[in-house]
Chain A
């Protein structure tokens, strides 16, 4: 490790903080931070345009009702109101409905019925945000209440009301059935197994709740016909194409700008009705229009996550060899199927439920239904439903350990895939690229001091104290994806990257992905820096603006490093290849005689003869001949099509204390060892892991979007939807192993969601372990004090 002396004065620090970093991979302070710590980030609500109007949305107070009339005259009469629009008015322009990311349709504004509480019914555009809200109160909507479908388990009952009667010939609330694996082979293994353990479990509906809610500023220039849309989007290019297709606007006349984003976590992947309303409002008023939702709107109407009811089964030999896993899942997709997942994967990547284990057979069946709840089903750092899959398998392995009476670590160790088995094809067809799972587990055990923890636990149990230790050894699948398999609404999941080396050797790299806090401006400068030897401080990263960047599908599913990171490395290598030819001309040797020495080409055997990348850049743009056939300039672009996903893995250990009197769970320690292959910036990786661990603790212990039987959302504010604060999470302990991805140009795997995926089962396993003296084998999240206390009494019920 290199220790760099700290600057002497504050002023010095202010100016040199971003020069304290390596040329390439390594711990490096972030290039984006100087603006953020000064309050000079530029988020959506900071966008102020001359003459800008403000839009507010009227939402349904009911979960399921027919709209019988809407009277907007009083709202229109408000002195500051410029425009009031209803669904009927949008229908006249054929804009009342829009496609979802799963080839369903969703109402922009309700025309016939409202289908969830919080659904968009009308909007008002006014001179300021207060007046717009005032005018919402003046709109008079009458509804005829309909019986709602709230419990997914009754959505397919014969007498269940049909929610989606807008769809032709739709007579029920069924969306799809999906299966993976070999049903018959799995049945045979189960029939012959010594031990079969079954467990029902729910993964409640949760919400990503980024600190910045969703919003948009639409600015239509009626003179040149160009729409500029600032929006809180994780996928600016995909959104632009969809707006072009849906609204019939020419794509080259749409510019989508994703400014600084105050957290995404998947919540900002879909197109929301509010974005479309803002566009319509700008078209109709010929003014810039801002729509910024409030927190309740964010929690009650934007994309939720999870909401799975799962039945799990695991088969094993009596000495603990896991043979097969089988599951049936009931998925609640809400009123419109807005799940974001590649088209061929209606259940997302749930097929990764085989986990980190060597199985003989596996099978999953899923049924998805409509209910009168908000649509979505993408979000919260879930890697396309792998969070649910990992929870299922890691809980089932613990249930098996419970029944066999063996240590969950030893059970896992016996069944984890071995390094020599990679690449490993699971029984559901996923090809894991690399890993050393036992090494990762051993590192976590070492950091935790596992044996000592078990001794402490035993001593505490003697005294009637409840301490639990929970393990999770998970495999993630990120970096969607190969275009032969993966597209979203027909758009291939490839990402472009453009790199321009300026005459003085400084560089600008343009990405199709954008950051919501992941630190792209730093990481991508490091990737290019590593390949070309240009200091990251000399590399400007441009992202989040469709006019400035190449096409690509955006940042979610931990895909930035696996896909765009690869593109950045490859485009830099393309530059390096050209630079080599230019260098050969400058040094008057053949290219074969040149050696690359990070930042310069040297003549083999004559190390004194060399040219730097900066000198080459000047030659590329300067006067004088270049080697024959070579164009001037030093720019390149690529579009990267990954050959496979990358499969990061981790071993997590959670230590909890449970108050026997109240059921309150305290997470005392959390040890996370991640293997994400090559580590570009360890500081940023650890930060990503910390955030995911807090998410996981929140979901396991606190968070749930719940509804009453009428479909009223009971979690519509941060007073009701509990997110972890600094007091609910411990000082995380992180470690790592490095197993590079064999197919990624720099061996890196995505890591952004590993901790969110891997931590919930570790926390739940720890709580259940603490409750061992009570004979509890399972209790559902969120493990609130009351739920834990009920589990101790043997009366705990599923949350949904």
Chain B
């Protein structure tokens, strides 16, 4: 069957098997390997992408179901080459280690901040609670999203500035 959707602002049309999962469509058909898969049962959330601005687990969405919709992946997060505040937040706050869950976490964070620009810590934890990170213990992911929220609100002074060069 043929499917047409918008991926990171670009219209794409491909001939696919009806059973093809969106995550495999993005990774294998389009070569957008920034979206990962981790569990097959929509528990881990490494495969989260935005469909019409809402986070979906692309391992449990058929590519055919995404037809006619707008998909946004981590490759589409940096607008015009400028990193999204969420991306900078994750780098500045050490919100990632192995990096495998990171694209999904960042997409969820982007969607959260789009509807709630000033989330509380609990709201952030709630938003990412459908996703698993085995490396960070989540603390720095929460910090990263708070950093991004402050950054895009222009009030970063409310957060502790990043320090470098100190031995402790």
The answer on a CB contact under 8 Å between B166 and A1 is yes
B58, CB-defined interface residue at 8 Å: no
Question: Contact at A20–B164, with CB atoms within 8 Å?
Answer: yes
Decide if B100 touches A43 in the complex (CB within 8 Å).
Answer: yes
12 additional A-B residue pairs with CB within 8 Å, beyond A10-B85, A36-B102, A209-B134: A1-B163, A13-B88, A14-B82, A26-B167, A29-B94, A39-B103, A211-B132, A212-B38, A517-B96, A690-B137, A691-B97, A727-B126
Give the secondary structure class of A's interface: loop
Minimum distance in angstroms from B51 CB to a CB of chain A: 17
Residues of A within 8 A of B142 (CB): 726, 731
Known A-B contacts A690-B137, A731-B142, A732-B137; the reply to A38 vs B90 at CB < 8 A is no
Q: Does any Cβ of A come within 8 Å of B5's Cβ?
A: no
| A contacts, CB < 8 Å to B | 1-4, 6, 10-11, 13-14, 17, 20-22, 25-30, 32-43, 45-46, 48, 129-130, 208-213, 260-263, 265, 294-296, 516-519, 679, 682-684, 686-695, 717-719, 723, 725-727, 729, 731-732, 736
Residues in B neighbouring A46, C-beta threshold 8 A: 27, 33
Which residue among A25, A295, A689, A693 has the maximum number of chain B CB atoms within 10 Å of its CB?
Answer: A295
- Which A-chain residue is minimally distant from B89 (CB atoms)? A37
Number of interface residues of B (CB under 8 A): 71
Scan residues 85-126 of chain B and give those whose CB is less than 8 A from a CB of chain A.
85, 87-88, 90-92, 94, 96-103, 106, 121, 124-126
Q: Which of A4, A45, A695, A717 contacts B163 (CB 8 A)?
A: A4
B residues near A, CB below 8 A? 17, 19-20, 24, 27, 31-41, 43-44, 46, 73-75, 77-78, 81-83, 85, 87-88, 90-92, 94, 96-103, 106, 121, 124-126, 128-142, 156, 161-168
Q: How far is the CA of A30 from the CA of B97 in the complex (A)?
A: 9
CB nearest to B128 among chain A residues:
A726
Residue of A nearest to B99 (CB): A36
A725 lies within 8 A of B131 (CB): yes
Query: Closest CB-CB distance, B12 to chain A, in whole Å?
Result: 17
Contact check: which of A39, A213, A723 meets B34 at CB < 8 Å? A39
How many A-B pairs with Cβ below 8 Å? 236
Q: What would be 17 A-B contacts, judged by CB atoms less than 8 Å apart?
A: A10-B83, A14-B81, A21-B164, A26-B165, A26-B166, A37-B83, A39-B75, A41-B99, A45-B36, A130-B20, A208-B134, A209-B134, A212-B98, A690-B138, A691-B136, A695-B134, A729-B138
Most buried by B among A10, A210, A695: A10
**Interface contact B131-A36, CB-CB below 8 Å:** no
Determine how close the nearest CB of chain B comes to the CB of A676; give it in whole angstroms: 12
A679, A687, A725: the one contacting B97 at CB < 8 Å is A687
Return chain A residues, CB-CB under 8 Å to B46: 211
**Do the beta carbons of B99 and A729 come within 8 Å of each other?**
no
B151 smallest CB distance to A (angstroms): 9
Q: A699 → chain B, closest Cβ, in Å?
A: 12
Q: Which residues of B contact A518 (CB under 8 A)?
A: 97
Query: Which B residues lie within 8 Å of A34 (CB)?
Result: 91
CA A208 to CA B132, docked complex, whole Å: 13
- In the assembled complex, the Cα of A37 lies from the Cα of B78 at a distance in Å of 9
Most A CB contacts (10 A, CB to CB) among B27, B101, B167 go to B167
* Nearest CB in chain A: distance from B134 CB, A: 5
Residues of chain B lying within 8 A (CB to CB) of residue A729:
137-139
Are B100 and A211 in touch, CB under 8 angstroms? yes
Check A27–B78 contact: CB distance below 8 A: no
Chain B residues within 8 Å of A209, by CB = 134
A130 to B20, CA, bound (A): 9
B140 touches A517 (CB 8 A): no
Contact assessment for A17 and B135 in the assembled complex, using a CB-CB cutoff below 8 Å: no
Picked from A3, A39, A726, the residue with its CB within 8 Å of the CB of B33 is A39
Complex: chain A residue closest to B100, CB-CB = A262
